[in-house]
Amino acid sequence: MKTVVTGGAGFIGSHIVDAYINEGHEVVVIDNLSKGKLENLNPKAQFYKVDVRDKESVDKIFDKEKPDVVNHHAAMIEVAKSVREPSETIEVNVVGTMNLLSAAVINNTKRFIFASTGGAIYGSPEEVRVDESYEPAPSSPYGLSKLLGEEEIRHYSRENNLEYVIFRYANIYGERQDSKGEAGVVAIFSELMREGEPPTIFGDGNKTRDYVYVGDVVEANVLALQNGTNNIFNIGRGVEVSDSQVFETVAKAVNFNEKPKFEPVRSGEVLRISLDAKRAKEELGWEPKINFEEGVAKVASK
């Protein structure tokens, strides 16, 4: 099976590329290296340095490679940046997705796997633990862009018989996560603490997220090559972890003894959420294996 992985030099995508190659699949990576790194690239993958907004280049790649599957992880993911600069987020996450869908249909691609968001697409839900039936209410342009991407995929599926799997991810952390920028709190906290610098918590420390280890996310993407057709899945542990708990867990892992700094909550951020992933267990055969403390211990001290 030949798979195009967009964002395949990035944090999550590069792990998926490795897993697909280990499973014996042929992999083509599309990445503009704005966030991805050459050092993350699997040498057995065919690499194209291309931005998904470049329709002409995307069309040429698909015409040449004729992939069976697209796994789309290239995206603008920073919530606060999407509030400051919404147009770029929409261009990358909506226009880029449309370009890939169009090329996939023209070249008879069978399946489209999409990285959406569970942390931002549901907004600030009344029920803190939400399943996929909860009506999306994005509170940021980033969340909106992912919802629009989902709708694009469902449209192309209805009109062209394209199979899809949509993942609404919790906050993902693990090896290769970039500590630069606004996303990736575990990586950011870990690097700052190793350098002896106190990290900043936005809010009073009680804001919560659902954290899932990248290895568990990769397993879901392997299963999605054959299972979960035409469905949306939350991928998370269903456990709230507060910002203060993140700080304490990382501090313990790296032996950091200072206090954090505090600043006001950033615009567009959700205050509390966790994801019910029962559907993924029942229909995809997936469930997380690594708890938060174990996952942080695996990565924070490196």
Q: Indicate which residues carry an active-site annotation.
A: 142
Question: Measuring CA to CA, which residue among 30, 43, 41 is closest to residue 72?
Answer: 30
CA trace torsion 263, 128, 81, 94 (10° rounding): 180
Strands (DSSP E) found in 33-99:
46-48, 69-72
- Which secondary-structure segment (H or E) carries 6? strand 2-6
Task: Retrieve residue 45's tokens.
Answer: 């993958």
CB atoms inside a 10 Å sphere around CB 204? 12
Sign of CA dihedral 6, 10, 15, 19: positive
The 3-class secondary structure across 266-285, one letter per residue, is CCCCCCCCEECCHHHHHHHC
Using CA atoms, how far apart are residues 61 and 103, in angstroms rounded to an integer?
9
| Euclidean distance between CA atoms 31 and 186, whole angstroms | 24
Tokens 């509170």 identify what position? 139
With b meaning 16 or more CB within 10 Å and e meaning fewer, what string describes 156-178? bbeeeebebbbbbbbbbbbebbe
**3-class SS of residue 180:** coil
Q: Which of 57, 56, 74 is nearest to 8 (CA)?
A: 74
- State the amino acid at position 295 in one-letter form: G
